[in-house]
Structure 1
């Protein structure tokens, strides 16, 4: 979904396309030692015929090492991770290897790419035996949880550096329209739609907001000095004034969880503009042609367990899909979610993705 988690928790996780063991290599996130419940039918006593469960995911995959180790000990499986860039690159990889996948299970295909994967029969039919109440509200339209299981969600939103605006005695923008006003010229930076999943989500937000007029909006945005980067990391960590590089642009395209990330001394220095948000949902599913189907199913069930759901905010900076999952204190106070996010149906995205990206490239390259 994004490279955000790596920068957020200050841990570098190198997951090459060659397999590596999460239980020994991934040290990101809190060391949750609480025993996790074992999914039905996957106890260690029923020794699995194939021990390795190979996860094909994106570069931002990150869960506490001890939590993964508990699952391995309790089930008898061994988790192997193979990463493949962001959600778009991951989906491309899954489509290209359909029927002969590089692994057994995948996590990280989001709602902007889900229909493409489903049309290509990337995922085998599977619904966890027990799906918590409320999770089905995040199902892919038309799938009903038959192939893809929702795991987490977050909203891509425009964020502002409130301390910068206070220091410059300038009222921050609040809407998408505001970003085209002269007062905010040369202040906005966003990752590109063709090279970044949050950038694609922002493009979809503008399509939802402006309909057939979205290209005109982007022309105005570019004329007002908007900067486009290849990815989120460069936009936030380099160009944004609150990023690690202390850049010069106080408006950035990022996530609704960011204000919980910039807390210092009990206050936050950023604010998400909740009228600009587009919801992203990440899914997991058993891959068609998987060698270890029982292990893949056990892994998907585990991702919905209370321990994993509670670990998601600190580990990957996303919200859990299971309602009632406790959130960190800073999230409860500062990570506000939009009540009416902008939306585009997965079917419409699938039908128009390539056309929209080409039109977006034409507008932004003028």
Structure 2
């Protein structure tokens, strides 16, 4: 995304090596570079990530200067595509570090053996708590966000329709043809929302809920970008649907010029909490540099950069957030949850069942 988030649907599964920043700091990929001045390991460290990874130039430059490393990026696509590529290239890894494996796919990455055990030694216990036991010691939490439905508040006021507040509301006749979501087979927010409905209605009830949504005029887009910018009326791009799947942080980016109000709001009773992790890839060519990069991703400098660059909450709860977030982008008090082991066991099955129910 350009101004709310770039949590895109799955892109092409072809990895393209792209420099994140040309000739920043002291590292230029030459082992004979200025590592002695920077005090770090010389050379290149390759970050494998999703399409939406972003960091301020100056923050990255400081890391490169102090470490003597040059960071390069491989971006295969969305979180699902990312993990698929990691598994497919396990014997010839695409890089040294991965960022963007989230809690809907994390156990698959760990079980496939694509990661080398590592976590920063001084990791804040509050940050470490975002990694359940099956991930602890292998994946390091970096950021957190709630995937939930967003409302175009102006549309509901203009049409004199009370806005929905619950998942069940969306199946009522007054909300027919108003909702757009993303496909869980091609979009990580789509999968997160599917899991929200599993958490809400249980394994015996979620399919019936989606059938009711389908019958009430649900639209499915392949990517977040399409759902938000093409279909959502609240994005200001001519969309026709006032209910769209996005993030709880999205309303902080539709605020008025004076900062006193937002034209959109999040349905905080529809959320699934997404956690994104970083880890060292097994077989990394530069394991020392990989560990330094993971340390950087949970450093104060990078964590403070997360809200403005990736529109997610930093995993570090002590980082100061943008002023608008407290009012317009709060996290849900009680997001829906599904145990990671259940996600790992049933993910493909649930996606197939969802496809059969909703798409046909």
Instruction: Normalising by structure 1, report the TM-score.
Output: 0.90
3-state SS in 2 of match to 1:205 = helix
Structure 1 position 120, deviation (Å): 0.4
Query: Which residue of 286, 295, 300 maps to 1:306?
Result: 300
Structure 1 position 7, deviation (Å): 4.2
3-state SS in 1 of match to 2:72 = strand
Q: Which runs of 5+ in 1 are unaligned?
A: 27-41
Q: 1:330 to 1:289 in 2, by over 3 A?
A: same
> In the alignment, what sits opposite 1:232?
224
The separation in 1 between residues aligned to 2:85 and 2:15, in whole angstroms, is 11
The answer to whether the 8 Å contact 2:38/2:65 transfers is no
Q: Which runs of 5+ in 2 are unaligned?
A: 25-34
Cα-to-partner distance string for 1:53-100 (whole Å, 9 max, x where unaligned): 000000001100111111111110000011111000000000111132
Query: Which residue of 111, 121, 127 maps to 2:113?
Result: 121
Cα-to-partner distance string for 1:133-172 (whole Å, 9 max, x where unaligned): 310110034222x110000010000111111101111110
Indicate yes or no: 2:90 matched with 1:98: yes
3-state SS in 1 of match to 2:278 = strand
3-state SS in 2 of match to 1:84 = strand
Indicate yes or no: 2:198 matched with 1:207: yes
The answer to whether the 8 Å contact 2:228/2:235 transfers is yes
Query: Which residue of 253, 277, 283 maps to 1:283?
Result: 277
Q: 1:155 to 1:25 in 2, by over 3 A?
A: farther
Q: How does 1:40-55 map to 2 (within 5 A)?
A: 44-46=37-39, 48=41, 50-55=42-47
Structure 1 position 332, deviation (Å): 2.0
How many residues in Structure 1 have an aligned counterpart in Structure 2?
342
Structure 1 position 46, deviation (Å): 3.8
Structural RMSD (CA) = 2.0
Q: How does 1:1-366 map to 2 (within 5 A)?
A: 4=1, 6-8=2-4, 17-24=15-22, 44-46=37-39, 48=41, 50-144=42-136, 146-211=137-202, 212-264=204-256, 265-266=258-259, 267-366=261-360
Q: 1:170 to 1:44 in 2, by over 3 A?
A: farther
3-state SS in 2 of match to 1:263 = coil
Q: 1:352 to 1:240 in 2, by over 3 A?
A: same
The answer to whether the 8 Å contact 2:233/2:242 transfers is yes
The answer to whether the 8 Å contact 2:5/2:52 transfers is no
